[in-house]
Amino acid sequence: MIEIRNLTKIFSGKHQEVTALRDVNLKIDKGDIFGIIGMSGAGKSTLLRCLCLLEQPTSGTVLLDGVDTAALTGKQKLETRRKMGVVFQGYNLLMQKTVYDNVAFPLTLCGTPKAVIAQKVASLLSLVGLSDKAQCYPSQLSGGQKQRVALARALATDPEVLYCDEPTSALDSLTTRSVLDLLENINRTLGVTIVIITHEISVVRRICNKVAVIDASRFVEWGDTSRVFDHPQTDITLQLLGYSAS
């Protein structure tokens, strides 16, 4: 469903060039919960930004259902964005709007009728367990609740794929667990493909059926989570798993 081919991203600054991604290839199948794990600065956030069309690749392609998303412009780009949901580490909610309006936001952008929005928002809020918080403002919610709102918002346009950038890094372990359970539930019941960027091995272990390890701007290992974690082939995977490098 998602295919990354020869993706390279170079940031050219005033004095030097930084290669964030170097000739990266990856295939993510429909229905996967795909973990992309790596240390800080490995290039995982850049990869996600290329996937959700926030960055333009320097070269290479990102195919979504066979369509090269990097080549899209104007209206097609906007419509493709509506086919994906994104959840950020910092929630990025509208602080001046209620929980209801936050979840409704992506729908109001594409002119959805009010009655349809009301129905959709109600079902999403019940999915994430926040039906009683519809009229609250984000500042009144805990971190875990905010991330649930962000999740409901990301799902509002019925996306085919959900990108999560360090979705639990700001949350405590108990809240992390409930958010991950929710993600798994969403994947199972709605059939949404989920891509999770993280530096936490426990997140991948808990819900990802596949994983790719990224280090120094390229993938060093990938495959079924159990295989990669049970038989790590590289130092970086060992380090992420908590073993000291051999």
CA distance 174 to 246: 33
CA distances from 85 to 139, 147, 162, 220 (A): 22, 13, 5, 27
Closest approach of another protein to the CB of residue 90, in Å? 5
Closest approach of another protein to the CB of residue 151, in Å? 12
Closest approach of another protein to the CB of residue 55, in Å? 11
In the complex with another protein, which residue's Cβ is closer, 106 or 144? 106
**Tokens at residue 82, please?**
């509506």
Q: What does the binding site for another protein look like in residue numbers (CB under 8 A)?
A: 52-54, 78-79, 81-82, 84, 86, 88, 90, 92-98, 105-106, 108-110, 137, 139-140, 153, 157
Closest approach of another protein to the CB of residue 32, in Å? 20
Please answer whether residues 7 and 24 qualify as being in contact, where contact means their C-beta atoms are separated by less than 8 angstroms: yes
**Tokens at residue 21, please?**
């991604």
Rounded to 5 degrees, φ, ψ at 193 are: -70, 135
How far from the centroid of its chain's Cα atoms is residue 214's Cα?
15
Sign, CA dihedral 47-55-22-170, equals: negative
In the complex with another protein, which residue's Cβ is closer, 142 or 226? 142
In the complex with another protein, which residue's Cβ is closer, 81 or 133? 81
Closest approach of another protein to the CB of residue 148, in Å? 15
**Tokens at residue 224, please?**
């079924």
**Tokens at residue 34, please?**
């795909």
CA distance 35 to 19: 22
Closest approach of another protein to the CB of residue 53, in Å? 8
Burial state string for 99-124 with b = 16 or more CB within 10 A and e = fewer than 16: bbbbbbbbbeeeeeeeeebeebbeeb
Please answer whether residues 167 and 208 qualify as being in contact, where contact means their C-beta atoms are separated by less than 8 angstroms: no
In the complex with another protein, which residue's Cβ is closer, 106 or 232? 106
Amino acid letter at 227? R
In the complex with another protein, which residue's Cβ is closer, 98 or 169? 98
CA distances from 211 to 28, 102, 113 (A): 10, 31, 39
Closest approach of another protein to the CB of residue 77, in Å? 8
